[in-house]
Amino acid sequence: MIAILVPLFLVATIAGLTVLYLTWHFNHWKMKGLNGPKPSIIFGTWPGLINGKIPLFYEVQKTFMEWKSVDRIIGIFATRSPQILITDPSFAKEIEITHFNSFHDNEDSTWSNNKFEEMAPLNPVSLTGDKWKEKRQEFSAGLTMNRFKAFYPVMKEAGNKMTKYVKGKME
């Protein structure tokens, strides 16, 4: 009888410790006063990130749509990693304008491989440190309101042509 109980106890203990390890941090955002969706043990907030059944974009969009009327920011988990999702556009604008220097080394910079992707080294979102500062200065100089106003008619016309082309292909 003891020969059966000891291995059973060990398996139960290991399983319990594994579950505890995978879930101990799930109260991270509640302790900081943020609401958010309840994460699953292995997949976090977005199961599609691991199993690939749903693209990550749709997972994020679904979470955003469910929570945008609840809070300005919510706490989420990308697998076991706690992250913040901003659901209020005005708050996102405030962060991008006044606190942007605090977010140059972010999670997005690890999602692309700058050695193999041609455009990634040009995108400030995928850069860190001094390279990020250099590219941000380059882009900021070209993003003036007058340039946006001048570029708007060109983009509108291109969008209309693309819409017409796609509608023609669908018929």
- Residue 156, pLDDT score: 94
Low-confidence ranges of the chain (pLDDT < 70): 49, 100-126
d(C-alpha 105, C-alpha 133), whole Å: 11
Q: Where a domain ends, among 103, 129, 151?
A: 103
In this structure, the answer to whether residues 29 and 49 fall within a common structural domain is yes
Q: Which domain holds residue 68?
A: 21-103
- Residue 23, pLDDT score: 80
- Establish if 5 belongs to a structural domain: no
- Residue 109, pLDDT score: 60
In this structure, the answer to whether residues 150 and 95 fall within a common structural domain is no
Q: How many CB atoms lie within 10 A of CB 85?
A: 19
Q: Where a domain ends, among 103, 123, 141?
A: 103
In this structure, the answer to whether residues 35 and 87 fall within a common structural domain is yes
- Establish if 4 belongs to a structural domain: no
Q: How far is CA 1 from CA 7, 8, 13, in A?
A: 11, 11, 18
Q: How far is CA 158 from the centre of its chain?
A: 29
Q: How many domains does the chain have?
A: 2
d(C-alpha 64, C-alpha 80), whole Å: 19
- Residue 107, pLDDT score: 63
In this structure, the answer to whether residues 93 and 119 fall within a common structural domain is no
What are 76-99's pLDDT values in tens digits? 988 788 888 889 888 888 887 777
In this structure, the answer to whether residues 96 and 25 fall within a common structural domain is yes
